[in-house]
Amino acid sequence: MLERSDLAENALQALHDEDYDRPFNLQNLNAETMIFTGGRQGRSLDGDWNFCVDLLDTGLRQKWFAMTPAAPGDRIEPWDYDPYAGETVPVPSCWQMLKEKWYFFEGSGWYTRALDLAPLQDGRRRFLRIGAAQYDCKVFLNGEFLGNHYGGSTPFFVELTGAADPGEAWLTLCVENRRTLDRVPMRNTDWFNYGGVYREVTLYETPATVIRDVFLRLEGGAIRCSLRVDGPATTARLSIPGLGVDCDAALTDGAAELTLDATPALWSPQSPTLYDVTVEAGGDRVTDRVGFRTIERRGTDIVLNGRPIFLRGISVHEDDAETGKVTSEADLRRRFADARDLGCNFLRLAHYPHHERAALIADELGLLLWEEVPVYWAIDFANPATLRDASNQLTELIRRDRNRASVVIWSVGNENPDTDARLDFMRGLADLARAEDPTRLIAAACLINHQKLKIEDRLAAHLDVIGINEYYGWYEEDFDDLEAIGRNSAPDRPVVISETGADGDHEAGPETGLFSLDYQAEVYRRQIATLRRLDYVKGMSPWILYDFRVERRQNVFQRGWNRKGLVAADKSTRKPAFDILAAYYRERAQQEET
């Protein structure tokens, strides 16, 4: 029979409440709630979750998350969705890749699964880690809202300790990927707007004391270690057997700073030496494998371990024809193998934080990385909420990856208009990055003043490396202008060509002219002929290794993809421009060896 629960009464009222989502936007799951996970044995929650798309946020309005399990026939009110029944999707995944009818879906997706929670002994604690969810992820446990996270490419944590009685619980995630002006990125991007829980979900248990952060680096000629511990411990123990380090540190308010007198073998592309590290405190124990090196700028040079280097790079998106933004270890190793074949020592991971596996594997292989937050194009720079979002994503990225020797550059953005609000916003991000990590170079992809043929971006004075996206031969015409920019600008710090390139469609491209493979190859020849004369350029990461999916590219050659890849979307068909760039990089590498 029909009955009315108090929830059902609200459902009627919710139809008239356009402020329905305000209570669910705390953004309390952020950089401050991260824990260090290296070496922890977690329990994977990947696999099939109940799932439903929700275009109008009916789920928040009707409070689907508050429903309790019941046989469909026992329901006492006509809900519009039952989170405990119906279809499932695999986690991790992007919903666009699962069904044709979800390809362009932008809205909320509801994920629900059972979770058996064993009793926690002796004050032990429980944390849920979500590797990434695009874009806003609200977390509910047994109908209680625990918080939400903004940002589509950084991990976040929810402490579940005490949030539910032992036994079977129900975990619900509401992931919303709408494009808005006040987010990072905002509503207009040149990459596909995926949605969903697309990186791994893991449950961790810790003692009452949890090690939240370990930051190890070579700084001022010594190894420095910063620890943050949350819980009753008063000392921590750091050991690096390969360096004969095994020492205790007193914790003051849960923090400790150590300076170690050790001389590690330096990590480099030629010799990617990594040291096993263990940190223990209050019964908690984490590990990592860390390489020690220095990266700095000296005048207009980029200097690795005291030697100037040229960054022979390529840009990459996190995108796949089959899986969308889901990245596997095999996908990453293929990416790095192709970059190696190109002669790269460097990759620009554009335009957002990639899977943490990328930097872990690059550490092993000896590849240098530019990592970036998606402060992309016309962000709402005057909006404090946008700055809060960008600052948090940058802090989460740095705290996730700052033990990775392969990461040498933090980039605070890409191609942003040079306004006063933007200058304040991005100078603030550069300052934040240096405060979180004084040992790496700060960059951004800046704009050129094409009328004056000059690098005039006011942000450049606050960066260590000036990225320049230039498309002579594609969006701009005269290659000689590129040389003029060097003469007119006389940059006092290193410049990296963070993007250059052209589309080439190997399937339907014309024989000659725009979008032909020949034209793409010719642009690379002309670019290389020009760039080899510009000694102010200290590196390049042409756009881009693989063709990638994007909604706005709809001409007959693009067909929903940006075709500037040196390799087609199948990630195996190489285009002629690949060999042209590879030949140049071989030449540069030989020069460096002599």
Binding site residues, ligand GCU, CB under 6 A: 190, 351, 414-415, 469, 499, 543, 562, 564
User: Which residue in 203, 194, 121 sits closest to 159, CA to CA?
Assistant: 203
Residue 355 or 549 having the CB closest to ligand GCU: 549
Closer by beta carbon to ligand GCU, 352 or else 585: 352
Phi then psi for 343, rounded to 5 degrees? 90, 20
Closest to ligand GCU by CB, 288 vs 319, is 319
**β-strand 537-540 against 311-316: which pairing, if any?**
parallel
Length of the chain: 594
How near is the Cβ of 311 to ligand GCU at its closest, in Å? Answer: 17
Q: How far is CA 503 from CA 268, 508, 542, in A?
A: 33, 12, 12
CB 174 within 8 A of CB 146: no
Based on CB atoms, which residue is closest to ligand GCU, 202 or 416? Answer: 416
What's phi and psi for 454, nearest 5 deg? -150, 145
Q: Where are the beta strands (DSSP E) in 208-268?
A: 210-219, 222-230, 235-240, 245-250, 255-260
Task: Calculate the alpha carbon distances from 275 to 116, 214, 245, 341, 546 in Å.
Answer: 37, 14, 11, 27, 33
Please check whether residue 249 is in contact with residue 282, taking contact to mean a CB–CB distance below 8 angstroms.
Answer: no
The pair of structure tokens assigned to 79 is 């809900």
Least distance from C-beta 6 to ligand GCU, angstroms? 49
Strands, E, within 357-436: which ranges?
A: 368-372, 407-414
CB of 499 to ligand GCU, least distance (A): 5
CB of 342 to ligand GCU, least distance (A): 18
Q: How far is the CB of 146 from ligand GCU (least distance, A)?
A: 35
In the complex, minimum distance from the CB of residue 364 to ligand GCU, in angstroms, rounded to a whole number: 28
- Are the beta carbons of 238 and 245 closer than 8 angstroms? yes
280 vs 547 by CB, closer to ligand GCU:
547
Nearer CB in complex with ligand GCU: 190/437: 190
For ligand GCU, which is the closer residue by CB, 209 or 416? Answer: 416
Which one, 240 or 445, has the nearer CB to ligand GCU? 445
Give the three-state DSSP class for 118. Answer: coil
Angstrom distances, CA of residue 156 to CA of 148, 149, 180, 331, 411: 9, 7, 21, 23, 21
Pairwise CA distance, residues 207 & 160, whole Å: 13
* Smallest gap from residue 469 Cβ to ligand GCU (A): 4
Least spacing, CB of residue 471 vs ligand GCU, in Å? 7
Nearer to ligand GCU, 53 or 569 (CB): 569
Residue number, nearest CB to ligand GCU: 190
Residue 140 beta carbon to ligand GCU: minimum distance, rounded to whole angstroms: 35
Nearer to ligand GCU, 327 or 414 (CB): 414
- Rounded to the nearest 5 percent, the helix, strand and coil shares of the chain are 25, 30, 45
Determine the Cα angle at 362 with ends 325 and 564, to 5°. Answer: 50
Give the shortest CB-537-to-ligand GCU separation in angstroms.
17
Main-chain dihedrals φ then ψ at residue 134, nearest 5 degrees: -95, 105
Least distance from C-beta 376 to ligand GCU, angstroms?
Answer: 7
- Nearest Cα neighbor of 176 from 299, 80, 53, 62 is 53
Count CB atoms within 10 A of the CB of residue 235: 13
In the complex, the smallest distance separating the C-beta of residue 473 from ligand GCU, rounded to whole angstroms, is: 13
By beta-carbon proximity to ligand GCU, the closer residue of 281 and 537 is 537
CB 165 within 8 A of CB 183: no
Q: Which is nearer to ligand GCU, 366 or 542 (CB)?
A: 542
Whether residue 66 contacts residue 79, with contact meaning beta carbons closer than 8 Å, is answered with: no
Nearer to ligand GCU among residue 57 and residue 418 (C-beta)? 418
Q: How far is the CB of 347 from ligand GCU (least distance, A)?
A: 15
Q: What DSSP string describes 273-295?
A: --EEEEEEETTEEEEEEE----E
Q: Nearest 5°: phi and psi at 168?
A: -75, 125
Bond before 510 cis per omega within 30 degrees: no
